[in-house]
Amino acid sequence: MKLTMASSPHNHSLKSVNKLMTCVMLACVPGILVQSYFFGIGVLAHLFLALVSVSVAEAAILKIRNRPIWPTLSDGSAWLTGVLIAVSIPPLAPWWIVVIGSVFAIIIVKQLYGGLGFNLFNPAMAAYVLLLISFPVQMTAWQPVNTLLATPLSMIDQLSIIFTESTQAGITLDIARQVIDGATGATPLDHVKTALSQNMTSSEAMDNIAFTRFAGEGWQWVNVAFLIGGLYLLKAKVINWHIPVAMLVSLGLCSTLGFIFGGHTGVAFHLLSGATMIGAFFIATDPVSASTTNRGRLIYGALIGLLVYLIRQFGGYPDAVAFSVLLMNMAVPLIDHYTQPRTYGHGARK
C-alpha cells in the first residue's frame, strides 16, 4: 500500500475535496437566494464576478508556478472562496471591490503560502478585512431591504450602480441607500453601535423601521437561511458540530450577560444579525485554518464568539466575524499544541 503524506484538510468521510466544497457551496444557496430577495440582484452579480475572478487568478498563479491548472481549480476551494467573498460585501458595491478581494484571496492568502492546505488564514476573511480597511466607504455602503428604499431600484439600475456607480437617471449609491424617511440606510449592527455611542438605550436604538422584533429587517431571515444550510452540513457530516455550537453558545452567553448587566442588545439580535450564522457554519469551520482537535475546536469556536461580542460592543467595527476568525487563525497552532489527544498507551506500565 502506498503511503501518501499530505497537508490538511484531512477528512474521513470518503468524500473528495471537490465533493466537500460542492456540498458547502450548495448549502450556501438558501442564504444567497434570501439575501438576493431582500437586497437585490447585486448579490448575484457579485457572485458571478467573484467566481470569474478567483478562477482567472488561480489559473494565472498556477501557470506561473508550473502547476497543473484544472486538477487544482476543479477541487472547488477557489470557487467557495469566491462565494464567501460575494455574500460578504455590500450588494451595490463597485465591481472592482469584489475583483480586488478575489484576486488577493487566491494569489496572496492561498497560493503564495503553497495552495490549499498551507494557508494560515481564511482567504475570504483576509480579503474582506483588506477591503474593509482599504475601502471603508464602499465596504460599509449596505442599503436597507428593498421594501424600505425611498427610490425602488430595478435590476438594470442595480447593475448600473455596480458597474458605473450611478443609474441612467443619475441615482448614485448614496441616494439609492436612502430609506423612506429620508435617512441614509446602515446595517442594523452599525445603526445600534452608533446609537449606543450617542448614549441611547438599546430599546431606543431599535425603535426604527429597519428593525423587527428580533433583529434587522431582512437580516434575520438571511441568518436563518444560512443556519438551514449549516444544519445540512452537519447532517451530511461535512463539518463537525464543535466550532459552530461553541461559537453560538459563547456569543449567546456573552450577549445574555451584556443584556442583563449592561443593558446591551439581546441574544436574538446578536445571533440573527450580520454574519453570525455564515461565520459559525461556513467560515469558522474552514478545515485548513481552524483547529483540528475536538477540544481545540471547542476552544477555538468559543473564543471566536467571545471576540465577536467584544468587538461588536466595544470595538471600532460593527460586525466582527472576519476579525475574530483571523485573530483565532493565528492562535490555532498554540491551541492544537495543547489540546492533542492522549497517545494510545500513554502512561501504561512497561
Which tens digits make up the pLDDT trace of 109-127?
Answer: 999 998 898 899 999 999 9
Residue 193, domain member (yes or no): no
Residue 224, domain member (yes or no): no
Give the pLDDT confidence of 265-304 residue by residue, as tens digits. Answer: 778 888 988 899 999 999 999 999 999 999 999 999 999 9
- At residue 182, the pLDDT reads 45
Residue 191, domain member (yes or no): no
User: 184 - beta bridge partners?
Assistant: 178
Residue 89, domain member (yes or no): yes
Cα atoms in the 13 Å half-sphere on the side-chain side of 296 = 20
Structural domain harbouring 174 = 16-185
Residue 42, domain member (yes or no): yes
Residue 64, domain member (yes or no): yes
Residue that is written with C-alpha cell 472547488 in the block: 76
Please give the span between the terminal C-alpha atoms of the chain, in angstroms, as a whole number. Answer: 31
The span from the CA of 250 to the CA of 248, in Å, is 5
pLDDT at 333 over 90: yes
Helix (H, G, I), strand (E, B) or coil at 325: helix
Q: Is the Cβ–Cβ distance between 143 and 117 less than 8 Å?
A: no
| Phi, psi torsion values for 344, nearest 5 degrees | -60, 125
Predicted confidence band of residue 315 (pLDDT cuts 50, 70, 90): confident
Q: State the SS3 of 210-227.
A: CECCCCECCHHHHHHHHH
Residue that is written with C-alpha cell 468559543 in the block: 302
Cell numbers representing residue 232 in the block: 445540512
Residue 75, domain member (yes or no): yes
Residue 115, domain member (yes or no): yes
Count the domains in the chain. 1
Q: How far is CA 308 from CA 282, 295, 303, 328, in A?
A: 16, 20, 8, 11
